[in-house]
Amino acid sequence: MSTTQQEIERKYEAVTADAVSPDLTGLTRLVADTEAETQNLDATYFDTAAGALARHRVVVRRRLGGHDEGWHIKFALGDGRQEVHFDLLKDAESMPAAVKNMLSGVTLGASLEPVARLSTRRLRTLLRDGDGRAVAELCDDTVRAYDHATGVERSWQEWEVELLVDDLGRKKQEKIFGDVENVLEAAGAGPSTSVAKISRALGQDRAFDEAAGIEAPERRQDGDEGPKLGSAQRLIARLIGEYLDDVPTLDLGVRAGVPDAVHQLRIRLRGIRSLLRGLRGVIDDDAERRLSAGLRATGENLGPARDLEVARGILEGLYQWDGLTTGTRQEILEVLSEDEDAALRTARNRLSSPEHLDLMKDLRAFVLQPRLDEVASEWSQKKVSKAILENLESRLHRRRSRVMDLDEPTIDEALEHVHDVRKAAKSLRYAVEALDAESALPKKRADKAKKSAKRARSLQSKLGRCLDLHAAHEWLSRAGRVFQRRELDRYGVGLLEGETMLRLRETLSQGMDRIEKTD
């Protein structure tokens, strides 16, 4: 069994030699329980030999003792740090298959080995609001850490303040943290120099080591050092690597159900596909086709989950929605939730598949040593940049021309071409933004390219509304059939379907006009 939650906490530590335990009677907004709970915690942290988890700011540990005993995965995504909990197996030393699977997009099959062990004596005090509700906890931790790689032991005292409820606004959260921070400062504590215990345990908090007089031996770690690259290869590696670096954490976010993770993962994968399209004729043809095909397959499996996110937003914004009975809205949302769960299962299955994991390995290998076509083996970065822009500008121009050649197309024909134009516009925009971020836009074309990207973004946004409405209409058509099978009243679904089609026709007409008017 696993649970996912957002972790909102702050850490403090002694900043003076005479620091003492805080006097919690000094709290003004909160009331501390009179007795603290003593916990003895034993945590073992894991990573790959190459440090894949640390590189992507992911932490996995097995904790024994305390109220949250079990396996924990922590990572930064969205509005804060996310935390996923798994129960211990009967053999507490064994890592659950579910933990390995959730991390597979980060580890890509590499084994996870212990890297550090932390023993903590914790005094846990609940902090309550005026209504007696426990809204936060203050943990007074005395920590002893052992680094497996270097054999170095470290010890320190710190305090953690963590919120226990998720219905507090930002202002209330700050007031709680501020109240606790005041009493901690009075006791001689200040913000911790380490983001996480594991960072300090592994010697990543240099200020702490210097203050403690610790001279740790240099860490040995298997790295992904590739061969020496040529100028063009270095540019290609940076462009694709910028998108690829975000993929492991977003993969983890999709598996953990973090809001918007599917959408953000699709953006990164589309960005890579866009660059590969622009690099046709520059990189090896077989590599481009194979990588693009794999990315397309993953995108197709992520698509339904994103379409349903969009459909939910559109449904609740329709004029007819508020006029439906509470029961009808509930029935519609129940069907939508069922489909969302099924779509997420499809997305997660793809991310766990051997095909996708092999694709990620291939992409990492390609970034380490981009394979160039023979004709481009000696190209400069400037020439590569020009080729990318020319390829994608020509692609967008061709697809726009096809739209303008249409004569009274059907809705399906128009949507197909709108989709093609939008994809081409997005590809150009992503490529220009990536080149600009690497300061690789050719100087003579920089202004023109940026203006093209701005127009492409505007076009993409307008056409995206057409496709979003189409996704909502398609889902409502399906929902109507589900209602019929379940012998439910389809009248409300029909009203929404009709309104969506009216909006789709209007927006599609505007989108076609925009395509014709865009330079």
Q: What's the rounded Cα separation, in Å, for the pair 319 and 323?
A: 8
Cα–Cα distance, 154 to 287 (Å, whole number): 48
CA angle 464, 397, 299 (to 5 degrees): 45
H helix runs in 260-325, sequence order: 261-278, 285-315
pLDDT for residue 340: 97
What is the phi-psi region of residue 464: left when phi exceeds 0, alpha when psi lies from -120 to 50, beta otherwise? Answer: alpha
Higher-confidence residue of 92 and 226: namely 92
pLDDT in tens, 122-171: 999 999 998 999 999 999 999 999 999 999 999 988 999 999 988 888 89
The pLDDT, as a whole number, for residue 18 is: 64
Which residues are CB-contacts of 461 (< 8 A; sequence separation ≥ 6)? none
The pLDDT of residue 216 is: 79
Reported as a pLDDT band with limits 50, 70 and 90, residue 352 is very high
Predicted pLDDT of residue 5: 64
Tell me the per-residue pLDDT of 96-116, one tens digit each, with 9 for 90 and over: 999 999 999 999 999 999 999
Residue 299 is predicted with a pLDDT of 96
Rg over alpha carbons for the chain, rounded to the nearest Å, is 27
Separation between Cα atoms, residue 507 and residue 466, nearest integer Å? 6
The band of 80, judged by pLDDT with boundaries at 50, 70 and 90, is confident
> What's the pLDDT tens digit per position in 382-430?
999 999 999 999 999 999 999 888 888 999 999 999 999 999 999 999 9
Cα–Cα distance, 504 to 507 (Å, whole number): 5
Q: What is the pLDDT of residue 226?
A: 64
Most confident of 66-80, 270-284, 449-463: 270-284
Mean pLDDT of 499-504: 96
- Reported as a pLDDT band with limits 50, 70 and 90, residue 7 is low
List residues bridging with 118 in a β-sheet. 43, 145
Greater confidence (39 vs 444) lies with 39
The size of the chain, in residues, is 519
Mean pLDDT throughout 61-80?
Answer: 90
User: Is a pLDDT exceeding 90 seen at residue 254?
Assistant: yes
Domains in the chain: ranges and CATH: 2-212 (2.40.320.10), 231-517 (1.40.20.10)
| pTM score over 0.75 | yes
Instruction: Round to whole Å and give the CA distance between 323 and 40.
Output: 56
pLDDT at 128: 95
Q: What is the pLDDT of residues 308-335, one digit of tens each?
A: 999 999 999 999 999 999 999 999 999 9
Spatial contact of 105 and 247, defined as CB atoms under 8 Å apart = yes
Residues 45, 60 contacting (CB under 8 angstroms): yes
Asked if the model's pLDDT at residue 15 lies above 80, the reply is no
- Mean residue pLDDT of the chain comes to 92
* Lowest pLDDT segment from 169-178, 336-345, 473-482: 169-178
Could you please report the per-residue DSSP string of 88-129?
A: PPSSTTSPPHHHHHHTHHHHTTPPPEEEEEEEEEEEEEEEE-
CB atoms within 10 A of CB 296: 13
**Is 80 exceeded by the pLDDT of residue 1?**
no
- At 327, list the tokens: 């029961």
Q: What integer pLDDT is reported at residue 279 of this predicted model?
A: 97
Q: What is the pLDDT of residue 438?
A: 92
